[in-house]
Structure 1
Amino acid sequence: MTTGYHTSWKIPDERADPAYVEAGAAIALGQAVYDRRTALGISQALLAERTGLTVDAVDRIEGGGTVPTLPLPRTLAMALDASLDVSIDTDETRLAFVPRAA
């Protein structure tokens, strides 16, 4: 579910195992990155250049195929000129790239 730059992933009760939780968080991050990148009107190639990642790595992140280490969200937030707000609860992960004030 996406609202503006907010992305959340709700875990169905029957699927609360750790692997499912991790996958949901990766998907939520990928959607938040995609939403912010497209709102800025920049390509994956430009985001890759700004972050020092490859285009393939950006594509994997946006597709939810990467569970990032802690430095990666910081790098993405800086490259997307935003702050990253993260809320993790037992059954839901919420991510939001919040544009910085001009």
Structure 2
Amino acid sequence: MAGHSRWKTIRTERSRSEVVEHAEYIQAGLDLRLGEMIRSRRIELGLTQAEVARRAQITQPALSRIEGGGGVPTLAMLDRLARAMETTFTITVGRNAAA
């Protein structure tokens, strides 16, 4: 499974524990977590990227980029991905105010 080792490489590169508060790093972390959520659910359901992409009417490489944190799906695309996997995604936007 060549894709599996590539996934691990991307994940390792993007999740290095450098403490940097630049907006780009914060955004990259959010993109990666979203991609991990989608990938995790797809694997949990036993679906391939090709099958989910076909059902969601996107290309397999586009889904791969999303799962790797390199592509950010629109809300409409997230809806299509959820429908393709017959699931729902719950996403919280924003942070709790400090007490």
Scaled by the length of structure 1, the TM-score of the pair is 0.68
Aligned residue runs from structure 1 range 1-102, under 5 A: 14-90=19-95
CA distances 1:6-50 after superposition (whole Å, capped 9, x unpaired)? xxxxxx8x5333222221121011101111111110111101101
Higher share in helix: 2
Runs of 4+ displaced beyond 2 Å: 14-18, 88-91
Structure possessing the higher relative contact order (Cα contacts under 8 Å, 6 or more residues apart): 1
Give the 3-state SS of the residue equivalent to 1:87 in structure 2: coil
Letter in structure 1 aligned against 2:86: D
CA-atom RMSD in angstroms: 2.0
Q: In proportion to residue count, which structure has more strand?
A: 1
Tell me how far apart the structure 2 counterparts of residues 30 and 79 of structure 1 sit (CA, whole Å): 15
TM-score, scaled to structure 2:
0.69
* 2:10 corresponds to: none
Task: Tell me if the contact between 1:26 and 1:68 (Cα under 8 Å) persists in the aligned partners.
Answer: no
- CA drift of 1:70 comes to 1.9
Report how many aligned residue pairs link the two structures.
79
Unmatched segments (≥5 aa) in structure 1: 1-11, 92-102
